[in-house]
Amino acid sequence: MASTLASEFIEQSLHYFHLNTPRIIKCLDELSEEEVWQRPNGASNSVGNLILHLCGNIRQYIISGLGNQPDTRTRSVEFSVTEGFSKAELLQKLNETLHVADTVIRAADDENLLRERRVQAYTLTGLGIIIHVVEHYSYHTGQIAFWTKQLRNQDLGFYAGVNLNATN
């Protein structure tokens, strides 16, 4: 069982982790099926590639690394695909991955959070794995939002109704 501090870390991590999913959904809603696979340039990835990449990363780090499941990731495929998944299929894949990851994170106890293990090319504790995945998910959500804004030339309203000018 996780300590109070570990439980709070897990809840806060999951809060920020899941904060980004509605943002990705908003972007998918704004884009056509073709635009999901459109790349800004040859050095960049499409929204579809980024969603596949997020699924692969979450599966490798959380489900495999933290959850002790087999690592079945083929990272290069995440970036080489140029079609083949609809927006609905991408979202389903993402939601299924997030559901399993959420279950694994919630089940982590103090020992699992502090134990080091090798994931990809890194040695991380369970805490480090969760921090990595939350940060990585946020980073690529920002890329998805930026590309969507470029294609639509509009604010996506992520902070509508929130006074971001409020002071402490």
Which 8-state DSSP code applies to residue 46?
-
Tokens of 45: 């990835």
Q: Does the pLDDT value for residue 63 go beyond 90? A: yes
Where exactly are the structural domains of the chain? 4-37+44-152
Task: Kindly report the pTM of this predicted structure.
Answer: 0.95
Rg of the chain over all Cα atoms, to the nearest angstrom: 17
Q: What is the pLDDT of residues 94-124, one digit of tens each?
A: 999 999 999 999 999 999 999 999 999 999 9
- Residue of higher predicted confidence among 61 and 1: 61
Which residue pairs from 109-117 have beta carbons closer than 8 angstroms and sit at least 24 positions apart in sequence?
109/1, 109/2, 109/6, 110/1, 110/2, 110/3, 110/6, 112/66, 113/2, 113/6, 113/9, 117/65
Q: What is the mean pLDDT of residues 80-98?
A: 95
Task: Give the whole-number percent of the chain exceeding pLDDT 70.
Answer: 100
User: Is the domain 4-37+44-152 a CATH 1.20.120.450 member?
Assistant: yes
- Kind and range of the H or E run holding 23: helix 21-30
- CA dihedral (39, 146, 62, 102) in degrees, to 10, reads -120
Q: What is the pLDDT of residues 12-24, one digit of tens each?
A: 999 998 999 999 9
Report the C-alpha gap between 60 and 80 in whole angstroms.
Answer: 18
